[in-house]
């Protein structure tokens, strides 16, 4: 896939590109007041949810089509570009009718291939930038599938929004960042712009600055941040919205590390990494050799391949050791699991060969 820039004319191509605005368009007055304040802080792309997918019925489900007229007024009065979320064919038609400049697809919608296909079919032949939020579940292929559906419909101005992944566990995050997922997406599609949504990842005002900085250090292209003229009174997601003033303070304090490292400085350290990786691979290969010997021993002595007692002991012992060495236990567990899986596979293989 080859992507075109999502940037609209006149918006500076400089990290971070900022999209800001309230979670929901509530009233004409709130939409305009917030917009005027944001425009005053230099924001160029305004966001507001017009149709709100809520977990349960009965809450505020958005002001609907009339709110698109308020957004048009924002464009007229402030010169900002305007964007909103679409989830159905009707949303797309209405948004195009009212000249939205950019659209985004929400996390619940991305998780549903039928809905994404419906949006893609409706957008066929339309030249508009579309941002695709990650699906609620941590499934990279589903996210990529949504990108492909839009791309196959002829859209090339595509970007993604990393808004975190739903969790039932108690966590400091509202949605778990699982940074490795967007990092892998970036590895596979280096030209795809990734925008971080610290409002939904953090779920509270106090976390927005830290998450935004992390996103910048991971080379994200932009930030989409919920901002409301009176966050305490917001009709949805009050805890995570900030005033335009706070937003400007956070953006001013962000450190953008954009220098292209001179390769000389890094080459010595990268040489060390190359050597260490080589040692790790040699050790792993030695370990597999021993494991294959164990496999043959088990075949001769009628022992099952899987030895849960031994495996359990290895996990506990190595995690304790790793923690003493200041590495995360979870990280080491993942490695041990991968090693064990390969070890078992190699034992099966060597036993099959020996039987022939």
Ligand X SMILES: O=C(O)C(=O)C[C@]1(C(=O)O)C=C[C@@H](O)C=C1
Cβ proximity to ligand X, 73 vs 307, nearer residue: 307
Cβ 310 to ligand X shortest distance, Å? 4
Cβ proximity to ligand X, 140 vs 294, nearer residue: 294
The whole-angstrom separation of Cα 83 and Cα 45 is: 7
Q: Does 310 bind ligand X (CB under 6 A)?
A: yes
The whole-angstrom separation of Cα 215 and Cα 250 is: 13
Q: 24, 62 in Cβ contact below 8 A?
A: yes
Figure out which of the listed residues 307, 318, 329, 333 binds ligand X, where binding follows CB under 6 A: 307
Q: Does 291 bind ligand X (CB under 6 A)?
A: yes
Q: 24, 238 in Cβ contact below 8 A?
A: no
Cβ 280 to ligand X shortest distance, Å? 16
Q: Does 311 bind ligand X (CB under 6 A)?
A: yes
Cβ 292 to ligand X shortest distance, Å? 9
DSSP label at residue 168: S
The whole-angstrom separation of Cα 15 and Cα 33 is: 26
Figure out which of the listed residues 281, 283, 306, 327 binds ligand X, where binding follows CB under 6 A: 306
Cβ proximity to ligand X, 188 vs 289, nearer residue: 289
Alpha helices by DSSP H, listed for 301-355, are 308-324, 329-355
Q: Does 344 bind ligand X (CB under 6 A)?
A: yes
Q: 163, 107 in Cβ contact below 8 A?
A: yes
Q: Does 284 bind ligand X (CB under 6 A)?
A: no
Cβ proximity to ligand X, 89 vs 342, nearer residue: 342
Name 210's Cβ contacts closer than 8 Å, sequence gap at least 6. 202
Cβ 299 to ligand X shortest distance, Å? 11
The whole-angstrom separation of Cα 66 and Cα 81 is: 18
- First-to-last C-alpha distance (Å) of the chain: 47
Figure out which of the listed residues 239, 294, 296, 333 binds ligand X, where binding follows CB under 6 A: 294
Q: How many CB atoms lie within 10 A of CB 300?
A: 10
Q: Does 354 bind ligand X (CB under 6 A)?
A: no
Figure out which of the listed residues 140, 296, 299, 314 binds ligand X, where binding follows CB under 6 A: 314
Distance of CA 191 to the CA centre of its chain: 15
Cβ 311 to ligand X shortest distance, Å? 4
DSSP label at residue 27: -
Q: Does 346 bind ligand X (CB under 6 A)?
A: no
Binding residues vs ligand X (CB under 6 A): 291, 294, 306-307, 310-311, 314, 340, 343-344
């Amino acid at each position: 896939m080859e992507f075109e820039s999502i940037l609209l004319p006149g918006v500076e191509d400089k990290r971070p590109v900022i999209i800001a605005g309230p979670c929901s368009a509530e009233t004409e007055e709130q939409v305009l007041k917030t917009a005027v304040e944001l425009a005053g802080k230099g924001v160029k792309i305004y966001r507001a949810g017009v149709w709100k997918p809520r977990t349960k019925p009965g809450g505020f489900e958005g002001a609907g089509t009339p709110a698109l007229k308020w957004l048009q007024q924002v464009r007229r009065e402030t010169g900002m570009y305007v964007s909103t979320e679409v989830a159905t064919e009707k949303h797309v038609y209405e948004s195009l009718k009212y000249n939205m400049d950019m659209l985004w697809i929400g996390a619940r919608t991305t998780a549903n291939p039928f809905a994404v296909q419906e949006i893609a079919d409706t957008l066929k032949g339309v030249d508009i930038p579309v941002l695709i939020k990650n699906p609620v579940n941590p499934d990279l292929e589903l996210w990529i599938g949504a990108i492909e559906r839009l791309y196959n419909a002829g859209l090339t101005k595509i970007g993604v929004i990393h808004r975190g992944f739903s969790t039932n566990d108690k966590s400091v995050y509202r949605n778990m960042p699982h940074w490795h997922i967007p990092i892998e997406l970036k590895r596979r599609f280096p030209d795809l712009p990734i925008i971080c949504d610290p409002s939904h990842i953090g779920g509270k005002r106090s976390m927005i600055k830290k998450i935004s900085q992390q996103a910048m250090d991971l080379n994200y292209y932009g930030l989409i941040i919920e901002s409301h003229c009176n966050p305490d009174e917001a009709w949805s997601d009050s805890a995570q919205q900030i005033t335009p003033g706070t937003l400007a303070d956070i953006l001013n304090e962000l450190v953008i590390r954009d220098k292209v490292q001179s390769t000389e400085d890094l080459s010595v350290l990268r040489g060390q990494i190359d050597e260490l990786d080589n040692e790790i691979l040699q050790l792993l290969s030695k370990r597999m050799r021993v494991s294959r010997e164990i496999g043959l021993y088990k075949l001769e002595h009628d022992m099952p391949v899987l030895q849960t007692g031994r495996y359990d002991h290895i996990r506990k012992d190595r995690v304790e050791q790793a923690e003493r060495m200041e590495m995360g236990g979870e990280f080491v567990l993942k490695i041990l699991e991968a090693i064990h899986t390969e070890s078992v596979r190699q034992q099966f293989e060597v036993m099959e060969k020996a039987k022939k």
